[in-house]
Amino acid sequence: MTKTKKSALMDRAMVLRAVKDSFVKLAPRTQAQNPVMLLVYISAILTTALWGFSLFGIGDAPSGYTLAIAVILWFTVLFANFAEAIAEGRGKAQADALRASKREVSARKIPSAERKDEGCECPSSQLRKGDIVLVRAGETIPADGEVIEGAASVDESAITGESAPVIREAGGDRSAVTGGTTVLSDWMVVQVTSDPGQSFLDKMIAMVEGAARKKTPNEIALQIFLVALSIIFILVTLSLYTYSLFSANQAGIENPTSVTTLVALLVCLAPTTIGALLSAIGIAGMSRLNQANVLAMSGRAIEAAGDVDILMLDKTGTITLGNRQAHAFIPVDGTAPEELADAAQLSSLADETPEGRSVVVLAKERFGLRGRSLSDKGMTFVPFTAKTRMSGVDFGGSEICKGAAEAVKAYVLAGGGRYSEACEQVVRQISEQGGTPLVVAKDHRVLGVIHLKDIIKKGVKERFADLRKMGIKTIMITGDNPLTAAAIAAEAGVDDFLAEATPEGKLKMIRDFQAGGHLVAMTGDGTNDAPALAQADVAVAMNSGTQAAKEAGNMVDLDSSPTKLIDIVRIGKQLLMTRGSLTTFSIANDVAKYFAIIPALFTGLYPGLAALNIMGLHSPQSAILSAIIYNALIIIALIPLALKGVKYREVSAGKLLSQNLLIYGLGGIVAPFVFIKLIDLLLVLLGLA
């Protein structure tokens, strides 16, 4: 998925497309999906009809005034449509790009992995779940599937936007492949896991385009609340008209309150601002998630991400860098530190693992040992094997090895050497600190121990502290023993840990937290993670993982980055904050509108109400026009905030509520007073009031 930081409002093509869609969305069926804006839509139709009648002398308001109200109401509807259309714009652009990458390709369908030489060519559209295909270098993978034999380098840039190839292979947690990606080298046998129209690419297109977006429970609840408010204001408006009619009859004068004015009052009092932006806020939240290269399989997932209070995170790659690094050389039995470092470096020259390279680097940095290379003569390297659990080098008539403590102990004792209690104690201390001890021996004599340490990612501890301020508990999941896990958890600053984690242990922990009323988020990539992912409220599956994990999760991280879970929570919370803030602003807006419209309605009947005209508006008609114009323009003004979202801050819920009430509550009260007065002055200046 191609990423872009360009704002939707700065993209000319996107804006033009949104303007066009704004008129398309005037269809009654589309308007009926938003009850609050449906009220404005009906009001626009009604005032347009009243203007038509006024041309023939039928009506209770001047035709120019009625036309102005009708035009402003139509613009209000169009502005709401534009807000939704511009929010959908980036998703539609992404969907177009994905749709362009989806094409019919030829597939070599084979009977089984053992009969690769048999089979026939067929279009990818004819493949069904369970079919087996052979894909070679340079060919496009025809459908989603699992690699059941072979391994290959795959270009997934059409899906992830990342140009670096990835390895997909049979077995393990990197066996899932996506249709539309390209094999760069080697070959593999793939078993198809989806039918036509149900592929991962099809689901991506539907989600980013918004076609599959369903309103979330919180969004539905808020909409019900807004509808209830609108019904109350309809009853209030009808009551005001009846009261005005009665008062005018009692006074023996013509009713000064026209139907057009009452319609304008209803639109101003109804929560039209949040009603117009509610859908755009939800779509923009999904878009921000898409820009982070995360595909949410439902709108409920991102909303749940904003409510989670338990984060279960893998240690490797999330909290630590994923590769242990040499931290110190600890000599024993009177060995000189330089001798230990020299032997450790020699035994690691051919070790291309990150741990091996870090031993070489540490020896250079601490003791200045340089100049050696694999080209030096007389070196015979002994590779690491799972059986020996050691590696080393034969050099200058000596045997040097390094490896797990038990393996080196057996090697030393077998050669008649001595494995001291001092060495045992160093190994035990390193393990208790959460490190990995590698014992170094030369000619069956122990020289010392290399301390390999899990390197905590920079800034992780501070991020966990921020999450704690928000009331989110962090739990580290690791296969390490409890002592090692406890040491790493303490250094990283997580709140709790699950050591020697098993699929059953993860599932039980999630269920226990949920039974206590918590919402749990976790990541996973393997088939053994699928049960826990299916149980979690927010389950982020790695795109590089197995098909089972992706089907169990409700989000897929296309970058396969374990740290993405923290960003997802931030995006979810930002969505909830934005919706809450703009709802507060919208409702607070109504307070100022009362002071603009109520005096305009009844000053003709009760001149004393002129005292409520604290804004000093020029006339009843200019007051109504100013309020209704402001009501329309504020929607356009708030579109950038709805798209970008309210700035995220790691603070407690109570402090966040106080800040929002101060900024958006007080701001929502003050803004209409200022801008309605400015619009009124402009109308007077232009001679329209």
Q: Specify the pLDDT at position 1.
A: 43
pLDDT tens readout for residues 597-634: 777 777 766 676 677 777 788 888 888 899 999 999 99
384 is in an annotated binding site: yes
| pLDDT, greater one: 293 or 635 | 635
389 is in an annotated binding site: yes
351 is in an annotated binding site: yes
Which is the catalytic residue, given 144, 202, 314, 454? 314
Confidence category of residue 2, pLDDT binned at 50, 70, 90: very low
State how far the Cα of 482 lies from the Cα of 360, in Å rounded to an integer.
Answer: 30
Q: Specify the pLDDT at position 212.
A: 46
State how far the Cα of 392 lies from the Cα of 386, in Å rounded to an integer.
Answer: 14
548 is in an annotated binding site: no
Q: Which of 569, 592, 587, 562 is nearest to 648 (CA)?
A: 569
14 is in an annotated binding site: no
Q: Which two tokens stand for residue 265?
A: 């009052």
Q: What values do phi and psi take at 661, rounded to 5?
A: -65, -40
Q: Specify the pLDDT at position 161.
A: 61
| pLDDT, greater one: 236 or 173 | 236
- Going edge to edge, which strands form the sheet with 473-477? 294-296, 555-557, 538-542, 520-524, 310-314, 473-477, 496-498
Compute CA distances 201 → 106, 139, 143, 593, whole Å.
Answer: 17, 18, 9, 48
pLDDT at 502 over 90: no
Q: What is the mean pLDDT of the chain?
A: 84
Q: Specify the pLDDT at position 550.
A: 81
Lowest mean pLDDT among 93-107, 367-381, 394-408, 428-442: 367-381
11 is in an annotated binding site: no
Identify whether 60 is a catalytic site residue: no
Q: Which helix (H) or strand (E) holds 586?
A: helix 564-602
State how far the Cα of 507 lies from the Cα of 524, in Å rounded to an integer.
Answer: 12
Cβ neighbours for 393, distance < 8 A, ≥ 6 positions apart? 346, 347, 349, 350, 379, 380, 381, 382, 400
Q: Specify the pLDDT at position 211.
A: 44
Name the pTM for this structure.
0.71
CA dihedral angle for residue 492, residue 496, residue 499, residue 503, rounded to 10 degrees = -120
Q: Specify the pLDDT at position 320.
A: 77
pLDDT at 102 over 60: yes
Could you give the residue ranges of the DSSP H alpha helices within 368-420? 405-414
Other CB atoms closer than 10 Å to residue 306's CB: what's the count? 23
Lowest mean pLDDT among 116-130, 375-389, 414-428, 490-504: 375-389
pLDDT at 251 over 70: no
Q: Quote the strand ranges of 333-485, DSSP E.
A: 379-382, 390-395, 398-403, 436-442, 445-453, 473-477
Across the range 217-245, mean pLDDT stands at 87
Q: What values do phi and psi take at 58, rounded to 5?
A: -105, 125
Across the range 517-539, mean pLDDT stands at 86
144 is in an annotated binding site: no
